[in-house]
Amino acid sequence: MPKLRFIIADRLPERELDYLKQNIRPEPDLKLVVTGKNNANRRAEFSLFPPEESVLISTDGHIISNMDQLGMATLGYIGPGGAENESTGEVPDDVITEIGSQNVNCNDSTDEVTEGIEEQGMQAAVMLIEGLEEVDETFLLRAYERKHGIPWTIVTTERCIVREITLDDLDGLFALYAGEGMTEYLDPLYEYEKEKEYQRSYINYMYRLYGYGMWVVIEKATGKLIGRVGIENREACDGEPELGYMIDVSYQRKGYATEVCLAVIGYAWNFLEFDKLNCLIQKGNKASECLAEKLGFMFREEMDLDGKCMKRYTISKSGA
């Protein structure tokens, strides 16, 4: 599996560089490299960094496009508001390596390079960012993982890992849904090949578009897929995020659902910065209702959804 070793800050404003240096924690095998402002030999400059081990933050769309084609994870800096970028601050002659024990010199200059933001090619970036004040190694690692198809680990608990689904999880997913009573209140999966294509699209579009969705629950001790938990936006909830969950029959009544749901709710408040979550539970699903109430959800209303009577529960970050 690829490993991130280089964070390349290319032509960023001095203030943004300062944020990055403050936010990245020192690690011996991770290096922050700041490229020289007037460095002209761009090809030689970036050839120093293996694409499969690097993430690039740049204002230069041409470089972003080129490095993306070589397999490097890239982020496009577009400045506050996404309009005009700040002018790039001066960078010392020697390239700065703030993280790790080695210095990297990137000052072989021969060719002329266009100044300022290069808009062409920015669409190749994994994401566009307006500022680096809150960008740290976790944020950059996730951009790196997205580029290389590595599933994000969302939260870890005492007994479980909650992460994005992969196509390798498909057999485990079908085994989960085959459990007694698992589809009594939940829609079943499609037939195998159709479900495989559905999950492929979900991974490629939903995760990339929203950064969240339905995830899988993996038991640490065994590596077994024992459930699903996640957050999706539902029209029935006025577009607000909804918490969904299911745990394998043999793992029910052992605290697993409470454990992972509490962790995901914390993730929703602290990382996704949501203020409110919904739960839609089919009437009669007493076990799910009890769990929702145990998690702190409050009953709000009953509604008809596709011919089913659903009970809507909500929880707010403020507790109101």
Burial class (CB in 10 A: 0-12, 13-18, 19+), 83: exposed
Same domain, 168 and 141: no
Among residues 119, 147, 175, the one where a domain terminates is 147
Among residues 147, 174, 193, the one where a domain terminates is 147
Q: Which residue range(s) make up the domain with 72?
A: 6-147
On the CB side of 41, CA atoms within 13 Å amount to: 10
Same domain, 159 and 303: yes
What is the per-residue pLDDT across 13-64, written as a single tens digit (0 to 9) for each? 999 999 999 999 878 889 999 886 655 677 778 888 999 999 999 999 989 9
Dist CA 79 CA 77 (whole Å):
6
Dist CA 172 CA 177 (whole Å):
9
* Predicted pLDDT of residue 38: 57
Same domain, 161 and 299: yes
Partners of residue 280 on adjacent β-strands = 312
In a domain, 218, yes or no: yes
What is the per-residue pLDDT across 59-90, written as a single tens digit (0 to 9) for each? 999 899 999 999 999 999 998 865 444 333 33
Same domain, 110 and 160: no
> Nearest CA to 13 among 81, 103, 77?
77
Dist CA 196 CA 180 (whole Å):
22
CB–CB of 77/133 below 8 Å? no
Alpha-helical segments (H) within the chain? 14-23, 42-46, 61-69, 137-147, 170-177, 192-201, 207-210, 256-270, 286-295
Q: What is the mean pLDDT of each run of 10 residues along the chain (320 residues)?
A: 89 93 88 75 82 95 92 93 44 34 39 45 90 93 94 97 98 96 93 98 92 97 98 88 96 97 97 96 95 96 92 90
In a domain, 1, yes or no: no
Residue with tokens 């936006």: 233
Same domain, 164 and 77: no
Sequence-ordered strand ranges (E) for the chain: 6-10, 31-34, 54-58, 73-77, 96-97, 127-129, 153-156, 160-163, 214-219, 225-233, 241-247, 276-282, 298-305, 308-316
Instruction: Look at the chain and report how many structural domains it folds into.
Output: 2
User: What phi and psi values does residue 14 have, to the nearest 5 degrees?
Assistant: -55, -40
**Model pTM score:** 0.81
Distance of CA 313 to the CA centre of its chain: 26
Question: Domain of 194: which CATH number?
Answer: 3.40.630.30
Same domain, 172 and 217: yes
Same domain, 123 and 172: no
Whole-angstrom CA distances from 121 to 47, 65, 124 are 19, 5, 6
DSSP 8-state class, residue 130: S
Dist CA 62 CA 263 (whole Å):
41
Among residues 147, 162, 189, the one where a domain terminates is 147
Same domain, 141 and 161: no
In a domain, 270, yes or no: yes
Same domain, 158 and 230: yes
Which residue type occupies 228? R
Whole-angstrom CA distances from 252 to 162, 278, 296, 315 are 17, 22, 19, 23
Same domain, 132 and 164: no
In a domain, 82, yes or no: yes
Same domain, 112 and 163: no
Same domain, 73 and 99: yes
